Amino acid sequence: MKESTTLIHALSENAETGAISTPIYQTSTFVQEAPGVNQGFDYSRSNNPTRQALEDLLAQLERGYQGFAFASGLAAVDSVIKLLSTGDEIIAVDDIYGGAYRCFTHIYEKFGIKVNYVDTTDPLQVLNAITERTRLIWLESPTNPTLKVSDIEAISLLAREKDIKVVVDNTFASPVLQKPLLLGADIVIHSATKYLGGHSDVIAGIVVCKSKSDSEKIKFIQNATGAVLGPWDSWLTIRGIQTLELRVHKQSDSAHQIAEWLEKHPAVDRVHYPGLKSHPNHATARQQQKKFGGVISFSLKDDREAPALEFVKKTRLFKLAESLGGTKSLLCIPALMTHKSTPIEVRHQCGIQDSLIRLSVGIEDPEDLIEDLEFAFQSLPKPKSLVK
């Protein structure tokens, strides 16, 4: 069977009632026959049937041993760091999600966990950064907002030789486009707030482990620290996933079309989209992803904040908001929004220019989206280089 079919039939109807939609078990506890004698559930922090349905679905989608649902993407990130001990080191992608950076720096540094940031698009730089204390290699591919792509298979190979685990934040690609565990990674995480939920209506996080032993550790951490996803949000996420394949293919196709259009636009300086031949990691992206995703970023020829600010005020379909992956198209200025706390030198080094605009392409008609962007371009003052 093809994946689009198995995805739809992954959750079977409820055995007791025949309900075709997974019931929402809005309960904190479960009645026991005798102490410790129950039907597999005793307390909803430890396990809840609705949450378990979501966790099983993700394990299947990502081809892992077991999945875990958390109260947010960052709670998922946090649970994976808790696998480490004082003195351990992480090698992380240099333009990692800002929230993960904040968690590493402001929460875990004081517990003696060190993070080395390297350009993981070059596996050699990863190899050179490994020390005898390295326990995890933390990848995000594609990254936010410049969509850098790291070779998950090559890095997993060199990590395995040294008994280091590879974690991949698969939020941007989603399991529809990329399966990190099949490429050799050990753990996958998601902000399910983005593509998995898919409708901008839930905050949720996912961890999927490939091995039984990592699954047991994450299960222990999930129960011991308690940042679980509630039954209602688990249900919303399950509901979102029903259309994940349809949405991600449509969003990728539309984004590809918009990226090609942007690349030819006279007001645009650079377009970051892994599907473009001009993208430095295009070959790797082709190798490990089915398509290239729904996020694009681009900078203006007039590389100042002012024209970017003007641009984002003028679009009508693309709404100005943080986040991504929903049905409605969104846009933001990373330098002023998601990456505001990143020092300007670091921002520029990562290619986050002052005029960089990030688009999250929704499921609207791509021609309407292009028209919306063109309208915003028309309202900008002409860049100096074009004025005769």
Active-site residue set: 45, 97, 169, 194
The runs of H, that is alpha helices, within the chain are: 3-9, 49-62, 73-81, 98-102, 123-129, 152-161, 174-177, 212-225, 231-241, 244-263, 282-288, 305-314, 344-349, 366-378
Binding residue (CB under 6 A) for ligand PLP from 74, 136, 285, 376:
74
Measure the CA angle with vertex 361, ends 357 and 362; round to 5°.
145
Nearest to 79 by CA among 91, 69, 90, 92: 69
Bridging pattern class, strands 165-169 and 187-191: parallel
Q: How far is the CB of 322 from ligand PLP (least distance, A)?
A: 9
Binding residue (CB under 6 A) for ligand PLP from 44, 141, 150, 193:
193
Under the binding rule (CB under 6 A), the answer on residue 120 touching ligand PLP is no
From residue 350, how far is each of 90, 100, 144, 342, 347 by CA, in Å? Answer: 20, 16, 10, 10, 5
- Whole-angstrom Cα distance, residue 47 to residue 219? 10
**Of the ranges 38-46, 102-110, 191-199, 269-277, which one interacts with ligand PLP (CB under 6 A)?**
191-199
Nearest to 151 by CA among 283, 276, 349, 248: 283
State both tokens at 305.
């904040």
Under the binding rule (CB under 6 A), the answer on residue 297 touching ligand PLP is no
Binding residue (CB under 6 A) for ligand PLP from 148, 165, 194, 272:
194
Bridging pattern class, strands 330-332 and 205-209: unpaired
- Whole-angstrom Cα distance, residue 353 to residue 351? 6
**Of the ranges 71-79, 149-157, 260-268, 374-382, which one interacts with ligand PLP (CB under 6 A)?**
71-79
Residues 200-229 close enough to bind ligand PLP by CB under 6 A: 203, 205
Under the binding rule (CB under 6 A), the answer on residue 99 touching ligand PLP is yes
Binding residue (CB under 6 A) for ligand PLP from 49, 64, 67, 73:
73
145 upstream amide cis, omega within 30 of 0 = yes
Burial (CB count within 10 angstroms: exposed 0-12, middle 13-18, buried 19+), residue 99 = middle
Radius of gyration, alpha carbons of the chain:
21
**Of the ranges 9-17, 187-195, 288-296, 378-386, which one interacts with ligand PLP (CB under 6 A)?**
187-195
Q: Site size for ligand PLP, by CB under 6 A?
A: 14
Q: 74 vs 361, which CB is nearer to ligand PLP?
A: 74
Q: How far is the CB of 244 from ligand PLP (least distance, A)?
A: 16
Binding residue (CB under 6 A) for ligand PLP from 120, 150, 171, 222:
171
- Residue pair 314/375 in contact (Cβ under 8 Å)? The answer is yes
Nearest to 92 by CA among 132, 147, 62, 129: 129
Under the binding rule (CB under 6 A), the answer on residue 78 touching ligand PLP is no
x/- letters, 38..67, toward ligand PLP (CB under 6 A): ------------------------------
Q: How far is the CB of 306 from ligand PLP (least distance, A)?
A: 27
Q: How far is the CB of 193 from ligand PLP (least distance, A)?
A: 4
Binding site for ligand PLP (CB under 6 A): 72-74, 97, 99, 140, 144, 169, 171, 191, 193-194, 203, 205
